[in-house]
Chains A and B, each alone.
Chain A
Amino acid sequence: MQLRYAVRGAIWVVLYLLFILAPLFALLAGSIPPTRDFWTEFSVAMGYAGLAIMGLQFGLTARFRYVTDPWGEDVIYHFHRQISLIAVGLVVAHPLILFVVRPELLALLNSIQAPWRARFAAVSIYSLIALVVMALWRTKLNINYELWHLTHIVLAVVAVAAGLLHMIGWGFYLDDPWKRSLWIGLTVFWIGLLLYVRIVKPLFMLRRPYHVSEVRKERGDTVTLVMQPDGHAGFRFRPGQFGWLTLWGSPFKITGHPFSFSSSAEAVDGRVEMTIRNLGDFTSAVDKVPAGQRVYIDGPYGAFTIGNPADMHVLIAGGVGITPMTSMIRTLADRGDPRPVILLYGSKDWESITFREELETLKARLNLTVVHVLADPPPGWTGERGFITAEVFKRHLPPPYADHEYFICGPNVMMDAIEAALGQMKVPMSKYHSERYSFV
């Protein structure tokens, strides 16, 4: 499976680069406009490539399982975020270089007197900068998730559409009708990807609703929603995967949030469970969801899942990172898997350990070892205390390290420490998997 994913991943990388560069070099085919100086042509090439990268951002977040499976959704979103900086750099460099080599173009900054083609360029660049600033510092700017998401979509469409109108308005390379059609077609395709996520997928979800059959309070200010498919068979997921849950309103609303499934993947009736911790935002209202409420789930997604050859599974969870691990443990128990499972589980204190009792129960059905690591242990506690560090991790892990399969989900600090430790222990990258649960 891993080799197949590696090949698919490589194919997608090549296609991604082709989608950026082929439309640029297509400008050199057919009738070519008069040559200008090197810097002008260089800046124009960067502008076109920057717009293509921006357009492909719609594809990265279009939730195509076939594309995202080799990487995992969190990595795709990470790439989406990082590559946006490259796109901004390219798009901003385009006018800056032009201003240096042709200072007379500085007059175009006066938006009142500038022609429309220059105004579109300004709108595109300002939208892009606003979009990236809001995405990178949403939390610091204290912007509500739903408002940010809506603004993000609007700014992205405006940035791409205005960029295209700027190119067409300038007309230098797009005078040829087929080249103009190519770039217009590409833009329509990019925005079509957005419409696919926001209209086609919700339409599909509308026909496949779920209802909340049980709301179960768990330890650690956490709630489990048990959801049953209404009038359809549901979907099968692999343990560790997640879905986008729309809890209130129709699937067309921009209110879907990603949550890991916590139930066993062996459930045959299509039932899925999501365990959600109260983080003070919209999650604080999850415990007020009434039984019977209609909800929508878009899934499953994610590459954070068991299924590769391993002599044992090592699960490292911090806080609500226990959710996908619970799905794995329940599934392995349901499958009667004889291989050992070690769970290193970091929690605030003894009382807030989500699934504490169930994990003890599961030991009867599975070769499961649970190591609790408490930040605030009770008096007389003899177990691990503090946080899950590389030292704690190594203390409980039997060799040979490279034969185990590792899953890590929790706070970034913990994940960075464990990933670094695995690297030092010569565990190959293919043997460990990590999921950042705050990827959007």
Chain B
Amino acid sequence: MRRLFADRLVLATGVIVILLSILFALSRVGVS
């Protein structure tokens, strides 16, 4: 079960990183 939790954590990390990468790009485009 701890592994299941770890799997969810991996997924959550991936989603957070992609969302914040989008935020990073949007903030850059917005800067112009």
Contacts and interface: CB of A to CB of B under 8 A. Distances in A.
A71 B31 CA distance: 41
Contacts, number: 90
Nearest to B16: A17
Interface string B1-32: 11101110110011011101110111111011
A16, A20, A82: residue with the most chain B Cβ atoms closer than 10 Å: A82
Nearest to B27: A28
Contact of B24 (A24, A72, A434): A24
A37 B29 contact: yes
B27 to A, nearest CB: 6
A344 B17 CA distance: 43
B31 A86 contact: no
B10 to A, nearest CB: 4
A434 B6 CA distance: 13
A425 to B, nearest CB: 13
A191 B14 CA distance: 23
Contacts of A38: 25-26, 28-29
A79 B24 contact: no
Contacts of B21: 24, 42, 45-46, 49, 90
A221 interface: no
A166 B17 CA distance: 21
Interface size class of A (residues with CB under 8 A): 35 or more
A365 interface: no
Interface in A19-44: 20-21, 24-25, 28, 32, 35-39, 41-42
Given A20-B17, A49-B17, A71 B6 contact: yes
Contacts of B24: 24-25, 28, 41-42, 45
A185 interface: no
A17 B31 contact: no
A138 interface: no
A35 B22 CA distance: 15
Contacts of B13: 16-17, 20, 53, 83, 86
A75 B25 contact: no
Contacts of B18: 46, 90
A339 interface: no
B6, B14, B29, B31: residue with the most chain A Cβ atoms closer than 10 Å: B6
A145 B5 CA distance: 28
Interface in A329-387: none
Contact of A75 (B6, B17, B26, B31): B6
Nearest to B18: A46
Contact of B10 (A41, A72, A83, A423): A83
A79 B16 CA distance: 16
A72 B1 CA distance: 12
A238 B22 CA distance: 45
Contacts of A41: 24-25, 28-29
Nearest to A70: B2
Contact of A434 (B2, B14, B20, B25): B2
Contacts of B32: 35
Contacts of A21: 16-17, 20
A226 to B, nearest CB: 31
Nearest to B14: A86
B7 to A, nearest CB: 6
Contacts of A46: 17-18, 21
A133 interface: no
19 contacts: A17-B13, A21-B20, A24-B21, A24-B24, A25-B24, A37-B29, A41-B24, A41-B28, A42-B22, A45-B21, A46-B17, A49-B17, A53-B13, A72-B2, A75-B2, A75-B6, A89-B14, A90-B18, A434-B3
| A-B CB proximity, top 4 nearest | A45-B21, A41-B25, A42-B25, A35-B32
Given A53-B17, A72-B2, A432-B1, 8 more contacts: A17-B13, A25-B24, A35-B32, A36-B28, A38-B29, A41-B28, A53-B13, A82-B6
Interface of B: 1-3, 5-7, 9-10, 13-14, 16-18, 20-22, 24-29, 31-32
